Structure 1
Amino acid sequence: MQDNTNSTRNLDALRIIAACAVVILHYSDYVKDTQVGQFMVAHTWHFNLFVDLFFVVSGFVIASQYLGRVGDPMSIGRFLWRRLARIYPLHLATLAFYVALALALHFGIARTDNTARYPLSDLPAQPLLLHAIDGARLTFNFPSWSLSAEMFCYVLFPLIAITVTRNKALIIALVVLPALANSAYAAATGTGSWADWINKGGAFRALPAFNLGVACYLFRDQIARWPVIPGAVTALLAAFILAGSWLPEMADLIVIYAIATLAIQSDCTCRDTLLTTFGFDRWSSLTYSCYMLHIPVATIVLTFGARDLAPHLPGGRLTLIPVAIVVLAIASLASLRWFENPMRRYLNDAFDRRIGTRRPVAVAARPDTRR
């Protein structure tokens, strides 16, 4: 079968939709004292599982680009550096924003009702991307926990790649065993569903999803031969969005895995869905920017801005939600064009100059603009 893994249009469409859903989830919390906000909070809590879709997509794309290319220390170092070059600059920039805010709070220059969110004691874990393993709580730019979880998967990827190169069927065990281990630990400790792990255990929550993405890449030919159900991706996605709040978390997680797998099937057979017909995939390059910047924008517009503006607006803080979304869109475009892309190119070129090698052609031909 022809390898069509260069087509990820449906996965790209899902990524930007997932990022927008996470924004809706978090922005709803800022207006939970209104009827609209209460409704949104009650019916969008399951949107947090869209982060698991990111992990599946990440596993698929990383496998498509690097499987068979991380067999020695030099190639592993190049792989990890390129992943850091993609995610670290914006993480560090948003962390610096909140560190500056924490210092302003400490010296009485600014004030907040949630001082526990800015503890300087949590700083060591944040720059080291360790806060999804055993973080004390969600702090600073808290969506960055998923970057820590992804980095955990990236570090393990060379071992995963070596394992499945010898026997690709072993990837099934690498999906099932971490999921079973998570379930056993959750049951033994009474911590609840592992689909809810974030700062404590978020890295282990990500691993089954990431490995599922790798598995989908390895078995893409078989997935492409599955019976085609027209409209399945869109219908299942719509059902999840509208009715997912009535399902248990683990059931929702399985639905997310199914949505990602069906999107991969569509991409492997180069089939359009309503997601690509409406052009959602065209905005996928903004996924990471939107995801990482939506909380800093909310801090500026919905927290600090609302103190002066909300009392004078008919809908109060609710009226500022569209303003925050517009600001987020502009900030995301600016960040991608003038900060993230230049920094990624600079860091990758610096690494290549340091080791005296060129970027592999296959990777250079497909710029990584994933979240």
Structure 2
Amino acid sequence: MPSSTEHVQGVQILRGLAALMVALAHAQYGDVPRSSTNFFAWDHMLEAGVDLFFIISGFIMMLVTDPSSGRAAGPGRFLSRRIQRIVPLYWFYTLLLTVGAIAVPSLLRWTTLTPDLVLRSLFFIPSFHPVNGNIQPLLSVGWTLQYEMFFYLCFVLVIGLSLGARVISMALLFAALVLLSGAIGRETAPMAFLGNRIVFEFVAGMGLYWVYRKGLVTGWAAALVGLVLLPALLWAIGSGAAAPLIESIDRPWWRSIAWGLPALLLAYAMLAVPEMSNPVARAFAHLGDASYSLYLSHVFVVAAVAKVWRSLGYETSPLFGILVALPCCIVAALLSYRLIERPLIALARRVFAATASLRSLILSARSS
């Protein structure tokens, strides 16, 4: 997701890895969406990159508002920073898709363009997709950003509490909202949105930061614990060995258990690893800077590359995703980060600064 002003190498590497996972999950099938999700299939587990993003987000929100950092942001400044980082690039790609769909309607093979859908998408308002029925905006990957914005709004309510109290309060708040959605019924988009257990992965990331600040996530010893347990957990889930146990739990929790737990364990291990200076670590950290661009732009790149690939008489496959589509996605993301994302963030900062200055002038004029 969007880069933070605080750069912990482990977080940057995790960002890069999470974005790669999501991009490859989509690239291996070209531009053909899948009709269902199997939480116990290896190829589907790449979509756990989203769960990893949510955990990272919870961690980062605690990091940038930690009073011990000496530059923790208050509620207003916190939300302002989040909007400046998330909204500009998301609006750019959403509007790019909108304009493209108007010019070439065949681009939207899997959705329907309506003014209502565009407006709801731009302002992160959850709504049922007109074609597949999922809670999903026009830009398909934007559903995660709806949860990001929701998380930020909830996080503001606890930002003044101690780190431990924040974790507990957010867990209780989300639990109350899930119970409320169940009591009212999840037939409407807002209630279905609130009932998704994936929000607890943000809380898991917050808890991970709290443990990290306690000094319990440091050094190779802690990293090895995670790196030893992670393959065992992945095997149990990917092979189906853990399926009976997970399926004995309510289905709404399956994703957070089958994908969220391995993502949390991976984040724990990576954050414990001492800072590295090898080329691979630096490459992933650099990709972490461009992870938001990769996340939003890869759907366009995969669709375009798949179309060209098929025009040459070939079929898309996992091998196509790894060798052809994914490298194109990475190159496009790095260009997007340099040429689009960073300039848009700079522009947003200037707009917010100018608005703040204008507000101050108006207030001064009124008081004089």
TM-score in terms of structure 2 length: 0.72
Distance 1:276 1:156, change over 3 A: farther
Q: Which amino acid aligns with 2:225?
A: A
Deviation, 1:317, is 3.2
Q: Which amino acid aligns with 1:157?
A: F
Q: Which amino acid aligns with 2:344?
A: M
User: Residue 150 of structure 2 aligns with which residue?
Assistant: 152
Q: Deviations over 1:242-264 (max 9, x none)?
A: 65433443432223223323434
Aligned equivalent of 1:178, options 167, 174, 198:
174
CA distance in 2, matches of 1:226, 1:188: 44
CA distance in 1, matches of 2:180, 2:62: 28
Q: Which amino acid aligns with 1:160?
A: V
User: Residue 340 of structure 2 aligns with which residue?
Assistant: 339
Deviation, 1:279, is 5.0
Deviation, 1:281, is 2.4
Q: Which amino acid aligns with 1:171?
A: V
User: Residue 231 of structure 1 aligns with which residue?
Assistant: 224
> Aligned pair 1:44/2:43, yes or no?
yes
Distance 1:301 1:129, change over 3 A: same
Q: Which amino acid aligns with 2:293?
A: S
CA distance in 2, matches of 1:47, 1:187: 33
> Aligned pair 1:217/2:209, yes or no?
yes
Equivalences for residues 117-196 of structure 1 within 5 A: 117-131=112-126, 136-137=133-134, 138-162=136-160, 164-165=161-162, 168-169=164-165, 171-175=167-171, 178-179=174-175, 182=178
Equivalences for residues 1-371 of structure 1 within 5 A: 8-30=8-30, 42-68=41-67, 75-106=74-105, 110=106, 113-114=109-110, 116-131=111-126, 136-137=133-134, 138-162=136-160, 164-165=161-162, 168-169=164-165, 171-175=167-171, 178-179=174-175, 182=178, 200-201=192-193, 204-224=196-216, 228-239=221-232, 244-245=237-238, 246=240, 247=243, 248=246, 249=254, 250-252=256-258, 253-264=260-271, 266=272, 270=274, 280-303=284-307, 305-309=308-312, 311=313, 313=314, 316-318=315-317, 321=321, 322-356=323-357
Deviation, 1:292, is 0.7
Residue aligned with 2:42, SS: helix
Q: Deviations over 1:17-46 (max 9, x none)?
A: 11111112112233889xxxxx9x942223
Q: Deviations over 1:273-328 (max 9, x none)?
A: 9997575323211211111111111222214x34522x2x4xx3347543332321
Q: Report if the CA contact (8 A) 2:25-2:43 is conserved.
A: yes
Q: Deviations over 1:211-264 (max 9, x none)?
A: 332333344343427893453344455556665433443432223223323434
Q: Structure 2: any 5+ residue segments left out of the alignment?
A: 247-253, 359-368
Q: Structure 1: any 5+ residue segments left out of the alignment?
A: 34-38, 192-196, 358-371
Residue aligned with 1:130, SS: coil
Deviation, 1:96, is 1.6
Q: Report if the CA contact (8 A) 1:22-1:48 is conserved.
A: yes
Deviation, 1:127, is 0.5
CA distance in 2, matches of 1:204, 1:7: 30
**Fraction of identical pairs, as percent:** 21
CA distance in 2, matches of 1:48, 1:88: 23
Stretch moving more, 59-68 or 240-249: 240-249
Q: Report if the CA contact (8 A) 2:17-2:284 is conserved.
A: yes
Residue aligned with 1:284, SS: helix
Distance 1:153 1:308, change over 3 A: same
CA distance in 2, matches of 1:90, 1:61: 19
Distance 1:7 1:333, change over 3 A: closer
Q: Which amino acid aligns with 1:215?
A: G
Q: Report if the CA contact (8 A) 2:178-2:195 is conserved.
A: no
RMSD, matched Cα: 4.1
**Which contiguous aligned blocks of 4+ residues in structure 1 show a shift greater than 6 angstroms?**
186-191, 273-276
Q: Report if the CA contact (8 A) 2:24-2:326 is conserved.
A: no
CA distance in 2, matches of 1:286, 1:178: 30
**What is the number of residues matched between the two proteins?**
324
